[in-house]
Amino acid sequence: MSDTKKFLLPEDRMPKAWYNLAADLPAPLPPPLHPGTGQPIGPDDLSPIFPMAVIMQEVSTERWIDIPEPVRDVYKLWRPAPLIRAERLEKALGTPARIYFKYEGVSPSGSHKPNTSVPQAFYNKQEGVKRLTTETGAGQWGSSLAFAASLYGLEVEVYMVKISYNQKPYRRALMETYGAKCIPSPSPLTNAGRAILERFPESNGSLGIAISEAVEMAAQRDDTKYALGSVLNHVLLHQTIIGEEAMMQMEMAGDKPDVIVAATGGGSNFAGLAFPYIREKLKGDKVRIVAVEPANCPTLTKGVYAYDFGDTGHLTPLVKMHTLGSTFMPPGFHAGGLRYHGMAPMVSHVKELGLIEAKAFQQIECFTAGVQFARAEGIVPAPESTHAVKGAIDEALRCKAEGKAETILFNLSGHGHFDMQAYTDYFAGKLMDVPYDQDALDEALASLPKVAAE
């Protein structure tokens, strides 16, 4: 085993194709349904809001999908991303385990999200789209799409969850730097926004509401499409470059993961690292794969696997996923990127197939892990990423207790430089582990749409 710290791929070894797990699934993914008819939707149903190239990827079962050369050229601004051995963290924990992390914080916006925002902007530009709308929680997706759109001269309108809009002015400034327009959601500009404001004038907003607003605006104009930063198959597909690179880098390290850990909000950074390894697992590899989610938005561990809407205003198709109900409002906590009521259908599906495990952690224990990581390895993790750090540290401590020298690989999905208020609150003892409201969850689950196909 080498004493190399960073495993760096040269640009010419950057993967030339994304990996599509749909090609290898032992059981097909349940199809998205039209909310009115209950029938599976086709590409045409999606064409008002997505470009055709993206829709064809959404429904594709081809194993490898070529990354267009111009997209690879933009990826080279920060990719291949480093794989780093967290040896100082291993020492601090006194574990016999070897810990590696794939660091996605090296992108211009500081997270894995430009891996999909760049191809999405590229395909929209190719099809003559002039304007994109989207939603953002903590602002990572909004700034990633704003960055990508700036490269292709596209206008961007971002509906930002109001509580984050007020709490994270620097994320807004970043979006504006890239030329995007940022609107606090719920807004009076859309039917969906006005409906919420009428009932809840003080609403802090949610991702589900912001999605409704962005979709509504995109559907209204021919020159405008919508872009989503997680959950859908094509987004997960674009993120698989993470796992494909990591596999080559683990080979450079002369090592092979026994456990893979990543945080799950909508599921995209998790899928990006995990799906290439699931391909190997389906061929007989023994790797364990652990998804880590916040205990107060516990989609995979406490949600039900059912058809549900992707948004609060019920404009999207129905997809089968682990859901807390589209009207569920998770309590405010700092990992804004993990506050979504659903989970990617493909991630939910592999959970049902028993190919992955899921764990939930409270935010304070995650920040404690994030601080320990920062003091050992230097990088300050995004609040979302601290969930993966906590998951990896727990595995390393289990190895210590069991005296096992396993190899752990986790996804450090982004840095926390725009989230330092969360760390300030943590050090001031102001962070709380607010439980979710069980009655509100029961109510949201009781109002799941009835689907004949089930």
Ligand X SMILES: *Cc1c(COP(=O)(O)O)cnc(C)c1O
CA 195/CA 185 separation, integer angstroms: 12
Query: Among residues 230, 233, 240, 296, which is the contact residue for ligand X, using CB under 6 A?
Result: 230
136 lies in the site for ligand X, by CB under 6 A: no
Work out how close the CB of 67 gets to ligand X at its nearest, in angstroms, rounded to a whole number.
19
- What would the x/- binding string for ligand X be over residues 142 to 181, using CB under 6 A? ----------------------------------------
Span near ligand X by CB under 6 A; candidates 6-14, 16-24, 204-212, 258-266:
258-266
CA atoms within 13 A on the CB side of 366: 29
Task: Annotate each residue in 355-394 with x if it binds ligand X (CB under 6 A) or - if it does not, as one string.
Answer: ---------------------------x-xx---------
Cβ-based neighbour number of residue 11 at 10 Å: 11
Read out DSSP for 128-164? T--EEEEEESSSHHHHHHHHHHHHHT-EEEEEEEHHH
Residues 185, 268, 363, 407: which binds ligand X (CB under 6 A)? 268
- Choose the binding region for ligand X from 175-183, 264-272, 282-290, 371-379 (rule: CB under 6 A): 264-272
Which residues of 217-368 form beta strands (DSSP E)?
224-226, 259-263, 288-294, 304-309, 318-323, 357-361
- Closest contact distance (angstroms) between CB of 71 and ligand X is 19
* Residues 113, 231: Cα–Cα separation, whole Å: 12
Output the smallest distance, CB 385 to ligand X, in A. Answer: 5
- Min. distance of Cβ 1 from ligand X in angstroms? 29
- Indicate the residue among 264 and 326 with the shorter CB distance to ligand X: 264
Between 253 and 423, name the residue whose CB sits nearer to ligand X: 423
Considering beta carbons, is residue 137 or 325 the nearer one to ligand X?
A: 137
> Which residue among 184, 292, 414, 426 contacts ligand X (CB under 6 A)?
414
Report which of 337, 234, 258, 260 is spatially closest to residue 293, judged by C-alpha positions. Answer: 337
Whether the upstream peptide bond of residue 449 has omega within 30° of 0, thus cis, is no
CB of 230 to ligand X, least distance (A): 3
113 makes contact with ligand X (CB under 6 A): yes
Question: How many residues sit close enough to ligand X to count as binding (CB under 6 A)?
Answer: 20
CB of 137 to ligand X, least distance (A): 7
Q: Considering only CA atoms, which of 129, 182, 168, 176 is closest in space to residue 150?
A: 176
Residue type, 260: I
Instruction: Give the nearest residue (CB) to ligand X.
Output: 414
Task: Calculate the CA 356 to chain-centre distance.
Answer: 16
Nearest distance from residue 425's CB to ligand X, in Å? 18
Which CA distances in Å does 27 have to 58, 192, 282, 352, 355? Answer: 17, 36, 12, 10, 12
First to last CA, the chain: 51
Binding flag, residue 267, ligand X (CB under 6 A): yes
In whole angstroms, the minimum distance from the beta carbon of 443 to ligand X comes to: 25
Q: In this structure, what are the phi and psi dihedrals at residue 415, rounded to the nearest 5 degrees?
A: -95, 165
Our CB check for ligand X shows the closer of 80 and 266 to be 266
Residue 223: partners with Cβ closer than 8 Å, 6 or more residues away? 128, 129, 130, 131
Question: Binding pattern to ligand X, positions 275-314, x when CB under 6 A?
Answer: ----------------------------------------
CA 379, distance to chain mean position in Å, is: 20
Nearer to ligand X, 95 or 233 (CB): 233
Q: Look at residues 269, 289, 293 and name the one whose alpha carbon lies nearest to residue 414.
A: 269
Using the minimum distance from each CB to ligand X, give the nearer residue, 100 or 418.
Answer: 418
Nearer Cβ to ligand X (122/270): 270
Nearer to ligand X, 224 or 275 (CB): 275
SS3 328: coil
**Closest distance of CB 263 from ligand X, Å:** 5
The span of 62-70, 180-188, 262-270, 434-442 binding ligand X (CB under 6 A) equals: 262-270
Burial 102-113 (b: 16+ CB within 10 A, else e): bbbbbbbbbbbb
Nearer Cβ to ligand X (227/399): 227
Shortest reach from residue 240's CB to ligand X, in Å: 12
Does 263 contact ligand X by CB under 6 A? yes
Sheet holding 6-7, edge to edge: 6-7, 83-85, 98-103, 407-412, 259-263, 288-294, 357-361
Q: Which residue has the tokens 């949610």?
A: 206
Q: Is 112 helix (H, G, I), strand (E, B) or coil?
A: coil
Q: Which residue from 265, 276, 370, 391 is in contact with ligand X, where contact means CB under 6 A?
A: 265
Please answer whether residues 182 and 158 qualify as being in contact, where contact means their C-beta atoms are separated by less than 8 angstroms. Answer: yes
Q: Does 51 bind ligand X (CB under 6 A)?
A: no
Q: Which residues of the chain form contacts with ligand X (CB under 6 A)?
A: 111, 113, 140-141, 230, 263-270, 337-338, 382, 384-385, 413-414
